[in-house]
């Protein structure tokens, strides 16, 4: 099943470390090449000799054991097709979320640009700690797969969520990642993300609540499916594909048009401001005794409509955010804009959309077809969108 694939398993210092011996055997039975790295504390729960016999490879523990000219953490990262960290302790999760590289495992993680699966296991109170949940959310936002622990009796004597998830779940998630068809290979896809910023003066601006999460999820998903991705974003993102940071609607339009001719698809997930200040002040506008201030606004270019007017072979996908009459407004908009697909978001709901990690959208086509994608995390929604466009 996994012939020719190298699976890198990182084991941290938790009691569930002993279970990973069976996970290694599962991958070996699937004909995968398995490499194992451990944190020093993991050696309190499982032996190096056992892991070496099961994986039939040398086990990495110390960071500066360099057998050849290539730094060891880079060598491991280059060789593997996927990285699995199980069990992932609170300590290692927090280090990974904050870019701390103080051992071989965390250094490899920081250098790893391919799929990563993280399977936490810990005491239930540690799992529910707000700081740990923030760190997990940070990792999730960057596109890493988190397999949540299960409820049950824990080694510490507590009853609650903290048990390492079933090994079959980890194995199946890895197989799904490794066997994911490269359906977008050879496609150049431009994706926009975030809300544009229109200056009023050097300290004030007009913008919106868009977090850019949907656009980044689309970009990560397209990249995992083999696409040549160019993300044009107003929010910072460090990715293995091309990321171009812009600020205003005019800057975004210029960045898109620069690469539009040879693009196969453009997905306008960004929330582009409809208006900008006609003449932004070069100096900070001082508060006066007047009760009112007047700003003269002018229309920003309709980037989506313009792209639809000049396209030759490109597939153009637009997004719209509506607070009422979602489908009716979306049907009117897709005909007005002329795009191939329109993704409609209901921003009146607090559990989806802006700043949320979840979404629920409807995909519209010009002929009136509407397909609803039920509430799911934005990475699942992104995958379903590409299935609809290129399925």
pLDDT in tens, 217-239: 999 899 888 899 999 999 988 78
Q: Stretch 59-86: mean pLDDT, rounded?
A: 78
> How far, CA to CA in Å, does 339 sit from each of 146, 257, 315, 320, 364?
35, 16, 8, 12, 10
Predicted structure pTM score: 0.66
Q: For residue 353, is pLDDT > 70?
A: no
Higher-pLDDT residue of 333, 69: 333
Q: For residue 162, is pLDDT > 80?
A: yes
The structure tokens listed for 129 are 């700690």
Answer yes or no: 156 catalytic: yes
Assess contact for 54 and 121: CB atoms under 8 A.
Answer: no
**Catalytic position from the list 101, 156, 308, 320:** 156
Distance CA 277, CA 250 (A): 12
Q: For residue 339, is pLDDT > 90?
A: yes
- Residue 66: pLDDT band with limits 50, 70, 90: low
Which of 42-56, 245-259, 357-371 has the weakest average pLDDT?
Answer: 357-371
Q: For residue 67, is pLDDT > 80?
A: no
Q: What is the CA radius of gyration of the chain?
A: 24
Assess contact for 40 and 61: CB atoms under 8 A.
Answer: yes
Distance CA 267, CA 301 (A): 17
Task: For residue range 284-299, list pLDDT tens digits in order.
Answer: 999 988 889 999 999 9
- Element of type H or E holding 6: strand 6-11
**Domains of the chain with CATH codes:** 6-178 (3.40.50.1950), 188-390 (3.40.50.10300)
pLDDT at 187: 96
Distance CA 135, CA 206 (A): 30
């Amino acid at each position: 099943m996994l012939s020719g694939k190298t699976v890198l398993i990182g084991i941290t210092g938790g009691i569930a470390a002993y279970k990973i011996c069976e996970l290694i055997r599962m991958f070996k039975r699937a004909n995968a090449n398995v490499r194992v790295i451990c944190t020093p504390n993991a050696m309190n729960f499982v032996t190096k000799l056992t892991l070496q016999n099961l994986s039939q490879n040398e086990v990495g523990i110390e960071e500066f054991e360099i057998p050849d000219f290539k730094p060891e953490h880079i060598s491991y990262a280059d060789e593997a097709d996927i990285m699995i960290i199980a069990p992932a302790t609170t300590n290692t999760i927090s280090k990974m979320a904050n870019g701390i590289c103080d051992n071989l495992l965390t250094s490899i993680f920081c250098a790893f640009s391919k799929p990563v699966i993280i399977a936490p296991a810990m005491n239930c109170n540690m799992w529910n700690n707000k700081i740990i949940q923030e760190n997990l959310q940070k990792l999730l936002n960057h596109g890493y797969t988190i397999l949540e622990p299960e409820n049950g009796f824990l080694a510490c004597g507590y009853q609650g969520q903290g048990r390492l998830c079933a090994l079959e779940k980890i194995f199946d998630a890895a197989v799904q990642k490794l066997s994911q068809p490269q359906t977008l290979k050879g496609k150049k896809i431009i994706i926009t993300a975030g809300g544009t910023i229109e200056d009023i003066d050097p300290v004030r601006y007009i913008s919106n609540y868009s977090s850019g999460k949907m656009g980044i999820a689309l970009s990560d998903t397209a990249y995992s499916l083999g696409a040549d991705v160019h993300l044009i974003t107003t929010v910072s993102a460090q990715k293995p594909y091309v990321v171009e940071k812009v600020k205003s609607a005019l800057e975004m339009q210029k960045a898109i048009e620069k690469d539009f001719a040879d693009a196969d698809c453009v997905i306008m997930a960004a929330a582009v401001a409809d208006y900008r200040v006609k003449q932004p002040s070069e100096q900070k506008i001082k508060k006066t005794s007047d009760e009112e201030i007047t700003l003269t606004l002018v229309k920003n270019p309709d980037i989506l409509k313009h792209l639809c007017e000049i396209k030759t072979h490109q597939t153009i996908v637009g997004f719209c955010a509506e607070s009422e009459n979602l489908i009716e407004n979306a049907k009117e908009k897709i005909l007005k804009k002329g795009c191939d697909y329109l993704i409609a978001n209901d921003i009146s709901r607090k559990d989806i959309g802006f700043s949320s990690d979840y979404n629920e959208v409807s995909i519209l086509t010009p002929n009136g077809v509407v397909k609803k994608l039920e509430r799911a995390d934005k990475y699942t929604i992104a995958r379903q969108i590409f299935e609809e466009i290129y399925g």
